[in-house]
Structure 1
């Protein structure tokens, strides 16, 4: 497979709620491989399917601090099943679809999502810090949201202004 081009803000596919994957076909396997190839690049932690133009519920991750067998992966039909009440505030977050801009975004400190892998086996991704942020960010993409949607009002105004200046 190969790395795919990342869609950027303004592309309607990023605002589309992605459809669940109903059957694991060769096309779905190819999508998973493309997602993994696309995320496996310097500076990338996660890529959602709609970021590469496919409106299906899947995302990939690349987490350098994980064991080699868990460093890269792809989850199909992820559902967030747990978020901690404890929040991480003030950490800057960025997005490949909003390139070059980072803004403080409050997220749950811990997140857990459940889905399946390309073999149809149950898959759980969970963790704190970067993993929690990744899960919330990527599932947000699959729901048609961008991280800027959840910024606090004054920060969101600044973000939108900076985005308009870049487009």
Structure 2
């Protein structure tokens, strides 16, 4: 059975709001903080490898990602943002509309392609831990569905609106080798990179030299 066939069997969305604080804390306390890779690092600019082993090594990676995400004050983090070539992302993202906190991980994520009549664009500021400093306006669909697997290889599906939808799309982009900068005009991208160069990151990063 292919991953697409397996994830298609998911009939209900994962409830990632239950015990969110406790689950995030448990991951973070087991994990080790790693420095963040920044734009220009080759690992950020190519599609990540599909995960095929659902083992203790993968669980440890997810723990490290939660620890690193918290240390950098992020709401989402992809594996290549800590230098690991693997299709995994984690998130700890508030949903301001519903007043809840989403915490979870997705392995081998695939973003649903929404029909045109269901695609409502939301224009809002977007930033990235791998582009420390600037925030730029970017239009994205205000609803997103991501399907993938959990740490045990079981199929899961996550959905969200607004800010959380933006987070799901942003992190999936990372694993496909794209940064939000790639969706900007050349002029906007140049502006963002200049702002990044003028600021000192609040967290440890991996130099590109």
Contact 2:48 2:176 (8 Å CA) reproduced? yes
Q: In 2, distance between residues paired with 1:43 and 1:87?
A: 26
Q: In 1, distance between residues paired with 2:42 and 2:78?
A: 14
Distance 1:63 1:160, change over 3 A: closer
Could you list the per-position Cα deviations for residues 64-123 of structure 1 after superposition, in whole angstroms to 9, with x for gaps in the alignment? 34898x73211100000144421012x110000000111111111111000111022222
1:8 aligns with 2:38: yes
Contact 2:132 2:196 (8 Å CA) reproduced? no
Correspondence for 1:40: 70
Q: Which has the higher contact order (CA 8 A, sep 6+)?
A: 2
Distance 1:33 1:87, change over 3 A: same
Please give the secondary structure, in 2, of the residue aligned with 1:106: strand
- Name structure 2 gaps, 5 residues minimum: 1-30, 200-207
Mapping of residues 57-96 of structure 1, within 5 Å: 57-65=87-95, 71-83=102-114, 84-89=118-123, 91-96=124-129
Contact 2:143 2:165 (8 Å CA) reproduced? yes
Q: In 2, distance between residues paired with 1:23 and 1:67?
A: 35
- Name structure 1 gaps, 5 residues minimum: none
Correspondence for 2:147: 114
| CA RMSD of superposed structures (Å) | 2.3
Choose 48-57 or 157-166, whichever is displaced more.
157-166
The runs of 4+ residues in structure 1 deviating greater than 6 Å are: none
Please give the secondary structure, in 2, of the residue aligned with 1:119: coil
How many equivalent pairs are there?
Answer: 165
1:30 aligns with 2:60: yes
Give the drift of 1:53. 0.6
Contact 2:93 2:167 (8 Å CA) reproduced? no
Q: Give the TM-score of the pair, scaled to structure 2.
A: 0.71
Contact 2:72 2:129 (8 Å CA) reproduced? no
Choose 140-149 or 4-13, whichever is displaced more.
4-13
Please give the secondary structure, in 1, of the residue aligned with 2:80: helix
